[in-house]
Amino acid sequence: MVKVVILGSGAAPGVPCLSQGFGACDPNNEKNVRMRAGTYMEISGVRFLIDTSPDLRMQLLKNNIRAVDALFYTHVHADHLHGIDDLRELNRISGKPIDMFASLENMEVIRQRFGYLLADAQSVINPVYRAALMPHAFDYHESFFVGDLDVMPIPLAGHNLPSSGYVFNKGEVVFIADFKDINPTVLGAVKQRPELLIMPLTTPQGTRYHAGFDELMKFATEINPKRLIINHMAVECDYEDIMAACKKANLADTEAVPAYDGLTVEF
Ligand SMILES: [Zn+2]
Ligand SMILES: [Zn+2]
């Protein structure tokens, strides 16, 4: 069984944002109210988070999440990382550290910024004062298991920081984080007709460091998932507009939808 909950469907400023309010988004549609990046999944009996945004506390409260077995980071932009300290509440409940996975280069930055949160085998866990995260740095050449969950991390290209995506259970679920491009070798490894593909949009036109809607559709066509969820949307992305664009894109065998906070998919 797979369960996926989109905890936060927004880009870095959230929606509404301080400078532009709701921007192009209809303020009367509550699906346009977006917290920053966060995803919860249960696959093969493993409960895990992808990224910890500054909104993590509210995300865990709202979705009644009190335990996770693992945590995967995509990159070290603040909207994906800086809620990390909230994890100590989960440590407090479980009394145990959480296994945390990131690329070698991302782990190095996490260690510099939040070294006080990292545990080692000798650590005395005291979650009253700090979170306890057991670091596992990976390189991109091999898949690994967390419990029964098969994890293959993939490098994404063109973002302004190194960014990782994740292929779970040999392509059953594919998670793409902030990116502009996916190199052909990596793309080859994800083309397995996933049950679910999650990709970030940010703005419909794209930016120097983020793929736009047409680029997403190009990758979605190649990856050919059964379902596509479009995530990580800024104030330029009205929910109904993106829904209409998905219908217009008319992907042959893919049901494509924009995300909203709390969107839950089970199969
Ligand atoms: Zn982001
Ligand atoms: Zn980013």
- Which chain residues have CB less than 5 Å from ligand 2, an ion? 77, 178
Distance of CA 92 from the midpoint of ligand 2 (Å): 29
| 265: Cβ contacts below 8 Å, ≥ 6 apart | 2, 3, 4, 196, 227, 229
Instruction: Tell me the residue length of the chain.
Output: 267
In this structure, what are the phi and psi dihedrals at residue 180, rounded to the nearest 5 degrees? Answer: -120, -30
Ligand 1 centre from 201 Cα, in Å? 9
Domain of residue 256 covers: 2-266
Low-confidence ranges of the chain (pLDDT < 70): 121-131
CA of 210 to the centre of ligand 2 (A): 8
Q: In CATH, what number is assigned to the domain containing residue 46?
A: 3.60.15.10
CA of 127 to the centre of ligand 1 (A): 28
> How far apart are the C-alpha atoms of 47 and 76, rounded to whole Å?
22
CA dihedral 103, 109, 114, 117 (to 10 degrees): 30
Q: What is the pLDDT of residue 2?
A: 98
Per-residue confidence (pLDDT) for residue 110, from 0 to 100: 97
Which ligand has the shortest distance to the CA of 13? 1
Give the distance (Å) from ligand 2 centre to CA of residue 70.
21
Domain count, the chain: 1
Q: Note the ligand closest to the C-alpha atom of 232.
A: 1
pLDDT tens, 146-205? 999 999 999 999 999 999 999 999 999 999 999 999 999 999 888 779 999 999 999 999
The model carries a pTM of 0.96
What does the pLDDT read at residue 78? 97
- Could you tell me the distance, in angstroms and rounded to a whole number, from the CA of residue 178 to the centre of ligand 2? 5
CA of residue 74 to ligand 1 center, whole Å: 9
Ligand showing the shortest atom-to-Cα distance for residue 179: 2
Q: What is the pLDDT of residue 143?
A: 95
Looking at residue 123, what is its pLDDT? 64
Query: Which ligand neighbours the alpha carbon of 156 most closely?
Result: 2
Q: How far apart are CA 113 and CA 159, in angstroms?
A: 20
184-195 pLDDT per residue, tens: 999 988 877 999
